[in-house]
Structure 1
Amino acid sequence: MASKFQSRLVGTIILVAIGVIFLPDLFDGKKQHYQEQFASIPLQPEIGEEGEFEVIPEPEFAEVDLPPEPVTVVIDEPEASNTVSERGTVKVEPAPVTQPKVGNRDSGWVVQLGVFRNFDNANQLVSKLRDAGYQAHVFPKQPQQGDLARVVVGPDVSKSKLSTQLKELEKLTGLKGRLLRFNPLNP
Structure 2
Amino acid sequence: MATQFQNRLVGTLILVSLGVIFLPDVFDGEKAHYQESFQAIPLQEDVDETLLEASVLPPEEVESFLPPEEPVLVTIGDEGTKASAGDESIVSEADNSQVAAANTQPKAGYEDSAWIIRLGTFRNIDNAKSLVSKLRKKGYSAQLMPRDVKEGELARVEIGPNVSKDKLASMTADLESLTGLKGQLLRFNPLNP
Q: Under a length normalisation based on structure 1, what TM-score does the superposition of the two structures give?
A: 0.44
Higher helix share: 2
